[in-house]
């Protein structure tokens, strides 16, 4: 497929090749080896560290050898999400791209434009001999999506540049100069089990939700499948006694849960009552979420078998209802400051396991939100531990790179002013700037909608605009 902006064709050619290589978080070995081979084939100096982060050095254009080094940075992994009906195997299958005149999406899976498009931009630039640019360092990190682990593992001296352009933002025309910090919390609740020889079981399945990125989409107030399930069980429990036999939902700390299900035990004489209740509950939720999740559904099916059932079902339901989810504080009337994602629930080794992900651009409010999660967990007799903490990236309004970026954008696009923003999502700039003093950084990127979900798509025309801006900015520096 040919596009009106010639460079869009080159960039998407590389993106298609990248999309053919499985690269879920913690499974980046193949993409790492492919990139290293590409760099060697093109005589670019390359090195890796113990975590498999990659640095590729691209020599400056003639006459620009003494200019400051520019780092182009992105991450190698992607969030792997698919619809329930998809048979896609993320360990071996290529992502199938779907093109229309305006957008590129994938076939029932996440697209991986977050952040494969950064790799594609860097590769296209490195091979373009007609572009005048300073010395470049292409910095590609691993395992970003599960907690920015690759960036956390970077060691002093791995790169030389002190000017960094991150290509992991998702709105063309926006210059990101700061981001939220975050922390993941792992919650455990003991469950008292009883074995029932012949149990009438009902499977309650929540689906059809949009989900999305738990940072950039949290303000949309889309339905959280775990919350919808907990509320459904609570309504049923008030009318009919039920006992949970199993419960699960969510896929990743940074994805709003799209699906959740519970297997519950109920007396046979109450089966029809529960089915009727679920129909009414579904109608209520469809009305509540008609503007965000119009395809929401609640399905039930029944079976008769031996099962272990929970004796503290009410406690489990109350726990999931009480845990915070969504926007917690706003920095002003339009910007999210703090939020929580009730990300995953499961039963493992006889215990209820819950993962929550807190974000905030203010460390004290991140701590306050985490304290709330801790308090709810303690009140139900659970335990908790935290990991994958990453710092907020505090904006530098006096940044020379920002000033040059604003001027370049306005000159290039006939007076249009870029939006300067702080993003409510984790970017590796926060960690890199915390590790290396004196870094001057911005984040840019083409327009991507609904990342971290099967609805992810990238706006085709925005790719060419970002390319033009990036090249103009490099030539100014």
Residue linked to tokens 């801790």: 374
Return the structure tokens found at 142: 């691993």
Contact 95, 104 (CB under 8 A): no
The strand pairing partners of 388, in sequence order, are: none
Of 219, 204, 230, give the one whose Cα is nearest residue 292: 219
Give the gyration radius of the chain's Cα atoms: 24
Q: Say whether 174 sits in a helix, a strand or coil.
A: strand
- Cα separation, 301 vs 275, whole angstroms: 9
Q: Is 144 a catalytic residue?
A: yes
H or E, element range at 384? strand 383-390
| Peptide bond preceding 386 in cis form (omega within 30 of 0) | no
Residue linked to tokens 């956390």: 152
Given the residues 10, 28, 77, 145, the one annotated as active site: 77
H or E, element range at 205? strand 193-207
Return the structure tokens found at 195: 């074995």
Given the residues 144, 282, 428, 440, the one annotated as active site: 144
Q: Is 77 a catalytic residue?
A: yes
Contact 337, 331 (CB under 8 A): yes
| 286-295 LR contacts (CB < 8 Å, sep 24+) | 289/222, 289/223, 292/210, 292/220, 292/221, 292/222, 292/223, 293/208, 293/209, 293/210, 293/222, 293/223, 295/208, 295/209, 295/210
Of 194, 191, 185, 158, give the one whose Cα is nearest residue 73: 158
> What residues are labeled active site?
77, 144
């Amino acid at each position: 497929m040919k596009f009106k902006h010639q460079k869009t064709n080159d960039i998407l050619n590389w993106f298609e090749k990248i999309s053919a290589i499985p690269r879920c978080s913690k499974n980046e070995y193949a993409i790492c080896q492919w990139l290293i081979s590409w760099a060697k084939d093109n005589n670019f100096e390359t090195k890796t560290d113990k975590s498999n982060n990659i640095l590729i050095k691209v020599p400056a254009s003639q006459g620009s050898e003494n200019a400051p080094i520019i780092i182009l940075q992105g991450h190698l992994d992607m969030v792997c999400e698919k619809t329930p009906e998809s048979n896609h195997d993320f360990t071996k299958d290529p992502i199938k791209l779907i093109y229309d005149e305006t957008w590129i999406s994938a076939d029932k899976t996440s697209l991986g434009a977050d952040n494969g498009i950064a790799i594609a931009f860097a590769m296209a630039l490195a091979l373009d001999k007609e572009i005048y640019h300073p010395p470049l360092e292409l910095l590609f990190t691993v395992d970003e999506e599960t907690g920015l682990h690759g960036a956390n593992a970077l060691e002093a001296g791995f790169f030389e540049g002190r000017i960094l352009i991150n290509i992991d933002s998702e709105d063309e025309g926006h210059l990101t100069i700061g981001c939220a910090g975050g922390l993941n919390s792992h919650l455990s609740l003991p469950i008292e089990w009883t074995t029932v020889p012949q149990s009438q079981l009902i499977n309650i399945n929540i689906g059809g939700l949009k989900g999305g990125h738990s940072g950039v989409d949290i303000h949309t107030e889309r339905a959280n499948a775990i919350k919808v399930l907990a509320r459904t069980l609570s309504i049923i429990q008030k009318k009919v006694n039920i006992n949970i036999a199993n419960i699960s939902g969510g896929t990743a700390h940074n994805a709003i849960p799209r699906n959740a299900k519970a297997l519950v035990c109920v007396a046979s004489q109450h089966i029809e009552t529960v089915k009727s209740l679920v129909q009414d509950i579904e109608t209520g939720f469809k009305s509540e979420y008609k503007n965000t999740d119009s395809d929401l559904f609640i399905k039930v099916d029944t079976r008769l078998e031996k099962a272990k059932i929970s004796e503290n079902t009410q406690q489990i339901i109350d726990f999931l209802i009480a845990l915070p989810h969504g926007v917690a504080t706003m920095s002003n009337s339009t910007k999210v400051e703090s939020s929580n994602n009730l990300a995953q629930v499961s039963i493992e080794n006889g215990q209820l396991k819950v993962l929550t992900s807190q974000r905030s651009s203010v460390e004290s409010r991140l701590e306050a939100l985490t304290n709330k999660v801790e308090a709810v967990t303690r009140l139900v007799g659970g335990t908790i531990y935290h990991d994958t903490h990453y710092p907020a990236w505090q904006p530098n309004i006096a940044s020379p790179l920002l000033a040059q970026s604003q001027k370049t954008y306005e000159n290039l696009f006939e007076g249009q002013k870029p939006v300067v923003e702080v993003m409510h999502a984790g970017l590796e700039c926060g960690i890199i700037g915390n590790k290396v003093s004196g870094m001057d950084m911005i984040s840019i990127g083409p327009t991507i909608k609904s990342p971290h979900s099967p609805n992810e798509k990238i706006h085709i025309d925005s790719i060419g605009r970002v390319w033009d801006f990036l090249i103009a900015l490099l030539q100014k520096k």
